[in-house]
Amino acid sequence: MKTVTVNIVTPDGPVYDAEVTMVIAKTTSGEMGVLAGHIPMVAPLTIGAVKLRKADGQTEVAAISGGFIEVRPDKISILAPSAEIASSIDLARAKAALARAEQRVQKKQDNVDFKRANLALQRAINRIKVHEGNI
Ligand code: ATP
């Protein structure tokens, strides 16, 4: 099966660079699978998991906190505010972030704080799910 290079880049630097046969990502209009040779496109991503299927049949998973996927026939770039490969997720940190965010969501002080807390909540839940392989 043909392969395509995938880069995941965040403001902190590159997180992933490998050859894969397929990328499955959650865009704002739904989940999409991209194979090598796909026509060029750009789509916004939601907080979610990105699955990276390798030629040997293994699948790596990354937790992505939004951003964009840019597809070209020979290269797929994911630009995200933050991204972690499952094995590099600190579960205790994500659980602590989840507890903090839950408290802030419950307080519902003002709309801005609520939205921010809700996004932090989603990021934490996503990291926990990806770390546990529960995706
Ligand atoms: P926290 O409150 O724990 O910082 P957050 O959702 O606010 O969580 P982000 O702003 O999304 O964190 O990310 C800041 C940096 O910390 C990024 O480089 C991100 O990859 C990293 N990061 C955040 N949470 C984790 C985690 N649980 N495990 C590993 N890296 C993490």
Q: 135 falls in which pLDDT band (50, 70, 90)? A: confident
What is the model's pLDDT at position 105?
Answer: 87
Fold (CATH) for 4-86: ATP Synthase; domain 1 (2.60.15)
Ligand 1: residue whose CA is nearest its atom 8: 97
The pTM (predicted TM-score) of the whole model is: 0.94
CATH number of 90-132: 1.20.5.440
Please tell me if the CB atom of residue 94 comes closer than 6 angstroms to any atom of ligand 1.
Answer: yes
Ligand 1: residue whose CA is nearest its atom 9: 82
Q: 83 CA distance to ligand 1 centroid (A)?
A: 8
What is the model's pLDDT at position 130?
Answer: 98
Higher pLDDT, 112 or 48: 48
Share of the chain above pLDDT 90, in %: 87
The angle that helices 111-132 and 91-107 make with each other, rounded to 10 degrees, is: 150
Average model confidence (pLDDT) across the chain: 95
Please tell me if the CB atom of residue 122 comes closer than 6 angstroms to any atom of ligand 1.
Answer: no
pLDDT higher than threshold 80 for residue 91 = yes
Choice from 93, 105, 115, 129 to test ligand 1 binding pocket (greatest atom count within 8 A of CB): 93
Share of the chain above pLDDT 70, in %: 97
